[in-house]
Each structure stands twice: as C-alpha cells, then as structure tokens.
Amino acid sequence: MSADTGSYAAVYAAAQSDPAGFWGELAEQIRWTRRWDTVLDDSAKPFYRWFTGGELNTCYNCVDRHVDEGRGDQPALVYDSPLAGAQRTWTYRELRDVVARVAGVLRGMGVAKGDTVVIYMPMVAEAAIAMLACARIGAVHSVVFGGFAAPELAKRVLDAKPKLVMSASCGLLPGKTVPYKPLLDEALKIANAANTPCLILQREQQRCELIPGRDHDWSAAVAQAQPADCVTLKATDPLYVIYTSGTTGVPKGVVRDNGGHAVALKWSMDAIFGMKPGDAFWAASDVGWVVGHSYIVYGPLLQGCTTILYEGKPVGTPDAAAFWRVIADHHVKALFTAPTAFRAIKKEDPKGEGVKRYDLSGFKYLFLAGERSVPDDIEYAKRILGVPVIDNWWQTELGWPAISNFAGIELLPVKPGSATKAVPGFELEYVDEEGHPQPDGEIGNLVIKLPMPPGTLYTLWHNNERFEKSYLARYPGYYLSGDAGMRDRDGYCSVMTRIDDIINVAGHRLSTGQMEQVLAAHPDVAEGAVVGVADALKGQVPLGLVVLKLGVTKPEADICKELVARVRNEIGPVADFKSVKVVKRLPKTRSGKVLRVTIRTLADGVEVKVPATIEDATVLPEITAALTALGYPRHAG
C-alpha cells in the first residue's frame, strides 16, 4: 500500500484487519532474490517471524539497487564534520564501490556469513560504510557508541564474540580528541579477547600505534582489497545486534532481521517522514544509537534518499545556528533529532535569530524523538522554523516509530505533548498493574499487542529466555514497553515517563513527565527534570531541577516559587510539589536523555554508580550540591 493512498484511518485499518496482505504488498517494493513463502509466520509463538522463506540482501537494496536502476550519480551519503573541518559526498555508485572493497577486506580477514563484527567508531562516513559492508557479506554487525568506556565495550564484546573489531584511532569533541585505541585495547583484555583482529581507521587528528599481527590499517587494507559481491541471506537471518541497557547491568542484545527490517524501514521513510527518492534526509544522531542505524544508514538508503552524517553538535560547532547551516548547505528536506538538541539551541538562541542567516526554503519537516517533547519544545521549534513539528515515540527494541504523525499519509492536527497516533501495524494499549485497560485520560503502562509489525525485535542475541522474561511475561500476549502514558478520547497517545518514574504520592499515582511539562512551559526555563524521591510520610514526593535560558535576570528564588505555584495550579495540591532548584546543567547520556534515575539515587542517599552512558560525569557534584541545598538526602529516622 502506497503511503499516499487514503487517509490515516484507512491505512491503519488495512494494517490491522489484514497484516499479511498489508505487509506483503509493501514487501513488493524490496528487491528479493527469492520470494517469501509466508508473510507472517506464527508457528512458534511468541517468536513471530516475517517473510519466512524469502531471500534478499539488505546492502543490495540500500546501494547496488539504485545504481542498477539508473540513479548511480545521485548523492547517497554526505559527511559533514565541523569538528574535523571536512565535507565529502559519495554518489550511490561511489558508495557501492567503497562498500564492496571494505566488504572484501572483511572477507580477506576471515569474516564470513553469520560471523559477528563489533564496530566501535566515531561519526565518520567509514562507520556507515562498515555497517553496509557487513550487511553485504552477511556478517552480523554490532555497533558500539564510539568513546564508550572500556568496561562497557568489554561487556558487548563478551556477548557478541566478534570475529573482527572495526575501529578508529580517535573521536572528536569540541576542542579535543578522544583516543579510542587505548579504550579498545583495554576492553579486549577485560573480555579475554586480546587477540581479536582489528581494522583501524587512522585519523589525521590523532594517529595510534598498531599491534603487529593483530591490527590492520584501514586505508592500506582497502587499497589492496578485491571487491566483494552481495551474498544471499534469508529474510529471517540477523542483520545486526544493538545493545541496550539491562536492569541487571548486563546489556541486552536486540536482534534485527533482514527482511522485515527492510520492508518496515523503507515504508516508514515514505509514510511517516514523507521522503521520496532523491530527497535529502538528516538524522542528527549517532550511528551507535538505534536512530543512527535506522535513519542515518538503512532507512534513507533503502528509500533512495541522500543521507547526512554529521560529526558535530547543535551548539558550539561553531554556534547555535549549526543545524541551520547543515540544512541549507545540503538542501535537507527533513531533520530528525532529539528534543534535547532544541533545548540546547533554545537556551543559547531563545529568539531563533540564527535561522535568519540561512536559506531554509527547501526544509519541510522537523521530527523529534528520543525523549519526551514537552509543548514548549514543539512551540519553540515551530515558531522559529515555520514547518510542521512531528513528535514520535519508539525504542531501540522497536527499531522504528510506533507513535507518530504522518507526513506521507496525512498530517493530523498536532496536540503538543502527544506523539499523535499509533503507527499502522502497532496496536497499543495502556493497562494497570494487573493488565486491565485504562480508560481514556488515565495513566497506564504502555503495551503493544503481539505480533508486532516487521522491523521490531524478535528476540535477544542468543537469549530467548531473557527476551520472554524482560518483555513478554508480565502481560501475556503483549510486549511491555517499560513506558507509561495515556490515550485521550481522540485516540492521541502520550508517553509521559518510564514506568519506574510513575510516583505514588500518598496513594495517588502521578506522572513526573506531566510535572516536567509544566516546568518547561515557564518562560525562563530551558529544560527541567522531575524525579520521585523517598518520603517517610507520603512514600514518594516529587523533586525538580531546572536549567534557565541564557540572559535570565530574575532571581532564582522567585522563579522557583513560580514553578511550585504552576505545578500546584495545573496538576493540583495532590502532587505535593515543593522542592525545585536551579542548576547550570542536567546529567545526560551521550544521546541527550536526562539521567533521572541517577538524580533520584543521589537524592535518596544511595551510592551512585556512574553510568557508562553519561556524557560528562563532572556534572554529578553540581547535582549533589543542588540536592544538598534542598535538604536531600533525607533519611527516615
């Protein structure tokens, strides 16, 4: 079914009433070497599989196909790095040739179909090329965010057991380089895998020493390699493993297949993002995160778009207009980024003056995901850009949006704070602790009815038991998202917070996300976080931390009084919101998510293990000082 056929309601109804027919028709847009036998295979519930019997190659569909179909001279991949002071564009033909040669290197180093390859790289074009090269020969790649600490990298190496590691000498941050090789060497030692062969990209900003016999120079190896052809893979063969944090401290390896992934990602580019072949699409993320997998590499290339790979920041490279420069330079039609990026821009450029320096006439859509978009985020972005701002919700496990608006089907009215409606193929429900559906407007745990559509996880890497226990056991027949929210009477879905962030204040279940929304609406606040902390009398009470916009001169104490009053007026005295403090910055992950659990743990006086994903650990003493000023931790006595 084409994305521009019918209304959202009609497309959603078609997907729900006849999933096999709906996805089977969309699968015709993919080039298969063998047609599938069964669209939806439910013979081994709850391990549903899509397009069993079908055969294809994802790299062929991303790259070679476009050359074979006469579009080889179209730009495919644009690398833009203000940190390195470099830009380069690859056409589809050039991308095919370099991917084939890198695939030849892998093959020459003994990597075969079904082997795993860990990719530990910065935001350089070679990272995307490495992923496609693995897909070309049927190797299963596992990308680890560049610069991850050695112990965390070691955990992923232990689980993935790679035949090869692909890495680089360094990564770049504003004003400094981050040496990768020492981290890689230490991780391999921790994992008892010190002899694992490594292919190392030497960057001119900082080169590294190679270990003779184990490490191989990327450029030299590619120059000597023979190109490798695409191999035929089953639709149900794994394409990649991506690790997400586990509650036990052991990361969970989410597995994505080849067939369902290709079908879903290609369609999402059209239906959700409104992108046609030849359009320029930019996901301002990192290849280490799922957004980078889906919407820097695979989604745009499956659709025949030009994809932008950006090594830089929303601010500071060089200023708060960095994003607008990239959009103008590369004629970007749609940008997909995280709300935290816009909060950083809003803090430095509250009036959006930087937009006026660039021609954004070809820019049509802004998409936000990765963390909840509060109404103030939406309104700011819409005001300075003048384009539709489309919030969407999904997870590493899902691989593509499950709640969104639809640039390619029908743009529905926006309700700021809601990610809009369920994406066709996803049947959502909000339930209470016992699994009973919640009425409209009531907070519940977000679950998704099985089977989920193509492109979602079908198990964890070599761990079916943990897959069932983590996601399926609590509510049989449903996937547990771990998030909580509500649906209104118009069918609009909101994801308010993690289930763990629903707090119980004197018997009342309240969402910290709703309180954050109130804080962010204050004209002086750039962003905020609310957590539930232990209280001897009421069980839990909310505590807020806020970052102010630049240039605010009003006394902080007055702002905090206004924030308390706003929460009291908009949510009610039942929220018992009394503690709020201004801080210079919030603790965040490298992908921009606020580390609320860390804030809560500090406030409760529990020893904090510094998260491996934290962007800058030096923020923690600042947060501790702010909590101390509010009287936390408060131990029951």
Q: For 108-150, what is each residue's pLDDT tens digit? A: 999 999 999 999 999 999 999 999 999 999 999 999 988 788 8
Q: Which two tokens stand for residue 165?
A: 């590691």
pLDDT at 507: 60
| CATH number, domain 515-629 | 3.30.300.30
Element (H, E) at 502: strand 502-505
User: For the residues 72-80, what does the mean pLDDT come to?
Assistant: 98
Q: How confident is the model at residue 505 (pLDDT cuts 50, 70, 90)?
A: confident
pLDDT at 636: 41
Element (H, E) at 416: none
Q: Which two tokens stand for residue 559?
A: 């702002």
- Are 123 and 176 within 8 A, CB to CB? no
- Domain parsing of the chain, residue ranges: 8-421+456-477, 515-629
Q: How many CB atoms lie within 10 A of CB 353?
A: 11
| CATH number, domain 8-421+456-477 | 3.40.50.12780
Q: Which two tokens stand for residue 271?
A: 């239906």
Distances (CA, A) of 206 to 125, 150, 223: 17, 19, 21
pLDDT at 637: 34
- Give pTM, 2 decimals: 0.85
Identify residue 145 by its one-letter amino acid code.
F
pLDDT at 508: 64
pLDDT at 570: 80
User: For the residues 317-328, what does the mean pLDDT come to?
Assistant: 97
Look at the block and give the residue holding tokens 């936390």: 632
Instruction: Classify residue 80 by burial, with Cβ atoms within 10 Å: 0-12, 13-18, 19+.
Output: buried
Distances (CA, A) of 136 to 112, 141, 222, 232, 391: 10, 11, 15, 9, 33
Residue 392 pLDDT exceeds 50: yes
- Are 295 and 347 within 8 A, CB to CB? no
- Are 444 and 437 within 8 A, CB to CB? yes
Identify residue 533 by its one-letter amino acid code.
V
pLDDT at 43: 97
pLDDT at 503: 73
pLDDT at 244: 86
pLDDT at 434: 87
Q: Would you list the DSSP string of 275-336?
A: --TT-EEEE-S-TTSHHHIIIIIIHHHHTT-EEEEE-S-SSSSSSTTHHHHHHHHTTEEEEE
- Are 425 and 404 within 8 A, CB to CB? no
**What is the chain's percent helix, strand, coil content, to nearest 5?**
30, 25, 40
Map residue 190 onto helix, strand or coil: helix
